[in-house]
Amino acid sequence: MAAHIAAMAPGTNIGAAHPVSISGNETKGDMAAKLENDAAAYIKGIAHKRGRNEQWAEDAVRKSVSITAEEALKIKVIDFVANDIDELLAAVNGRSIITEKGTAALNIKGARINKVEMGIRFKILSLLADPNIAYILLILGIYGIFFELSSPGAILPGVAGGIFLILAFYGLQTLPINYAGLLLILLALILFIAEVKVTSYGLLTIGGIISMFIGSLMLIDTELEFLRISWTVIIPAVLMTALFFTIAVSLAYKAYKRQPTTGREGLIGAVGVANTAISPKGKVFVKGEIWDARSDENIKEGEEIEVVEVEGLVLKVKRHR
């Protein structure tokens, strides 16, 4: 309505100008009436100044009416319907407009069109501000920090994770963040890291997955659908995290339960050969080494023995059956 010249493309529509809250929260009562009356008076004043349909402008605010481009041209809401920019420029060439400095004629025949594209900086920032991209960066950052803490000295996961987290926080600052959701995701990170250090048999991982799922749902605090994190991003991220940590924890548990192969514990159950007769003491050959041994039973030289206990530098053995 405020433009000196208003044009629309075929197949487009105009209207539905009732004031709404950009936060998604509904305005009610006297405040809603105040906003509506102010917007209606404002748009009527603009329509009067530009010589456009004042009644329709007011209805667009109060009743949220909307019309097509052809209807808008017919009732003098707009000035032109144009298929493309070239057609629009040809239509407005020579038209007079009223500005603050007086009347001016538009002489734009043969004018060169300059298209101002978004710069690389703003393209990157726009990408980071996408809630799905910011969330993915946050998850990748968590993975990177986890790998670095679980395998100190790897360097690359820690560096990449730190960069991802900083980029994620940069993107999230442009969005309506629910800090409870963010804290739940950070709690999930702490629980995942704790699983590496503490043997909880998967309880910390389960808690982390639940915390991450609920935090992901709560992270963006808005009713606007396009600002929310997509389910097609949340569910795969949580499932992949659950799968990864389930495998990691199961491998850690198997390693924990595996029979030791080195040290004192690694000798228990080992099978060797009696180098000498043992009655009750003698020598045995176990894992490439000769040990002093004792037994509660008589064992002949050359018989197979099994280690049942380690007593300092002496092995307690029995006949292997």
Express each pLDDT in 231-262 by its tens digit.
888 888 888 877 777 676 666 666 666 655 55
Report the C-alpha dihedral over residues 161, 165, 167, 171, rounded to 10 degrees: 150
Q: Is residue 159 part of a domain?
A: yes
State the CATH number of the domain containing residue 288.
Answer: 2.40.50.140
Q: Is residue 113 part of a domain?
A: no
- Averaged pLDDT of the chain: 84
pLDDT digits (tens, 9 = 90+) for 44-71: 999 999 999 999 999 999 999 999 999 9
**Residue 25: its pLDDT value, please?**
58
Q: How confident is the model at residue 83 (pLDDT cuts 50, 70, 90)?
A: very high
Alpha helices in 20-97 (DSSP H): 29-50, 54-62, 69-74, 85-92
In the listed set 257, 275, 300, which residue is the last one of a domain according to the structure? 257
Residues 230 and 148 in one domain: yes
Percentage of residues of the chain with pLDDT beyond 90: 23
Dihedral sign, Cα of residue 172, residue 176, residue 177, residue 179: positive
**Residue 8: its pLDDT value, please?**
94
pLDDT digits (tens, 9 = 90+) for 154-213: 788 889 989 998 998 888 887 888 889 888 988 887 887 777 667 677 788 788 888 888
Residues 158 and 207 in one domain: yes
In this prediction, residues 131-139 reach a mean pLDDT of: 89
**Residue 70: its pLDDT value, please?**
94
Residues 171 and 101 in one domain: no
Burial 191-211 (b: 16+ CB within 10 A, else e): bbbebbeeeeebebbbbbbeb
pTM: 0.52
In this prediction, residues 96-122 reach a mean pLDDT of: 85
More confident residue, 60 or 148: 60
Q: Is residue 245 part of a domain?
A: yes
Q: Which residues, in sequence order, are CB contacts of 224 under 8 Å at separation 6+?
A: 24
Query: Are the CB atoms for 40 and 26 separated by under 8 Å?
Result: no
Q: Is residue 2 part of a domain?
A: no
d(CA 132, CA 219): 11
Residues 73 and 38 in one domain: yes
Residues 248 and 285 in one domain: no
Residues 240 and 136 in one domain: yes
Residues 251 and 293 in one domain: no
Residues 21 and 137 in one domain: no
Q: Is residue 110 part of a domain?
A: no
Q: Is residue 84 part of a domain?
A: yes
Amino acid at 306: E
d(CA 251, CA 261): 17
Q: How confident is the model at residue 263 (pLDDT cuts 50, 70, 90)?
A: low
E strand or H helix at 250, and its extent?
A: helix 231-257
**Residue 265: its pLDDT value, please?**
67
Residues 250 and 270 in one domain: no
Q: How confident is the model at residue 9 (pLDDT cuts 50, 70, 90)?
A: very high
**Residue 259: its pLDDT value, please?**
58
d(CA 293, CA 278): 8
Domain residues for the domain of 274 are 263-319
Domains in the chain, number: 3
Q: Is residue 114 part of a domain?
A: no
pLDDT digits (tens, 9 = 90+) for 265-289: 667 888 899 999 988 899 999 888 8
**Residue 96: its pLDDT value, please?**
86
